[in-house]
Amino acid sequence: MQTRIITLILTISFLSGSISAQQNDRVVPSPWAFSWGAGMGTMIPTGNLGDHFNAGFAADTELSVYYNKIFFMINGGFSSNALTENIPVVIDGNEANWPKGSNALHAFIGGNIGVNIFATDNISFYPFVGLGYGFIEPNLKTANSDPVLSELKINSLVWNAGFGVDYNFPDKDYEPGGINRILKAGLRYQFQKPDYEDDVAGFDGSTHWLTLRFVIGSTMPGRVI
């Protein structure tokens, strides 16, 4: 009988300790999150690039990894810009005219680092800077019209900087320390400085990208301590 009483007391003590430990546990939110986004808008060339190309439709996409307020972003995009004038092209002694009114493809891919310097429950503002690769070439229709134009591709290192503002849609199922949805819409401006003039004289200038964006993602699960 005495043994049973002792066993019962030990069991109750163990259960009480376990319950108390569980009540004292807390979940620390993870600093990590990730997202994917896409945007559409316009690209406006300036400088000598603006003399050769009109503003045109632009689209881009991105993958981002966040650690607290800092993020690393890989993004890429393209724009279609009509030529304002004929551009003479000479490749290996062969000549052609890149015709006025035809479209050129401007494209880039790069890596950026940024930080959310202002954030509320619904609004966030972030600057970023980065480095990438860019190129200009005739669109497919124009390239197929002439063998010289089909070989034309102007490449460059691209310096990138910009900022954006997002509206964060609240997650009704938000759980502190849990896996929570990220859903945002916003505007972004990017300034790019390529070095196309190193390959082609008269192609110096900058490009300005303005896009309306939609972003989805997720936070990572927290840990129990």
Report pLDDT digits (tens) over 112-160: 999 999 888 799 999 999 999 999 999 999 999 999 999 999 999 999 9
Whole-number pLDDT of residue 20: 47
Does pLDDT of 56 surpass 60?
yes
Whole-number pLDDT of residue 25: 65
Whole-number pLDDT of residue 21: 44
Whole-number pLDDT of residue 177: 78
Average pLDDT over residues 1-25: 55
More confident residue, 222 or 220: 220
Query: In terms of C-beta distances under 8 Å and separation of at least 24 residues, what long-range contacts does 62-67 make, across chains too?
Result: 62/36, 62/37, 62/38, 63/34, 63/35, 63/36, 64/34, 64/35, 64/36, 64/37, 64/217, 65/32, 65/33, 65/34, 66/31, 66/32, 66/33, 66/34, 66/35, 67/31, 67/32
Average pLDDT over residues 5-26: 55
Averaged confidence pLDDT in the chain = 90
Does pLDDT of 200 surpass 80?
yes
Whole-number pLDDT of residue 9: 57
Whole-number pLDDT of residue 188: 98
**Cα–Cα dist 102/85, whole Å:** 9
**Cα–Cα dist 30/126, whole Å:** 20
Which of these, 209, 166, 169, 185, lies nearest to 60 by C-alpha position? 209
If phi > 0 it is left, if psi is from -120 to 50 it is alpha, else beta; for residue 68 that is left
Average pLDDT over residues 101-114: 98
Question: What is the band of 3 on the pLDDT scale with cuts at 50, 70, 90?
Answer: low
Average pLDDT over residues 166-186: 90
Which has the minimum average pLDDT: 25-39, 71-85, 92-106, 207-221? Answer: 25-39
Domain ranges of the chain: 29-224
Pick the CATH number of 29-224 from 2.60.40.10, 3.40.50.300, 3.30.2320.50, 2.40.160.20: 2.40.160.20
Does pLDDT of 8 surpass 70?
no
Q: Give this prediction's pTM.
A: 0.85
Average pLDDT over residues 187-193: 98
Does pLDDT of 58 surpass 60?
yes
Work out the number of other CB atoms within 10 angstroms of the CB of residue 64. Answer: 20
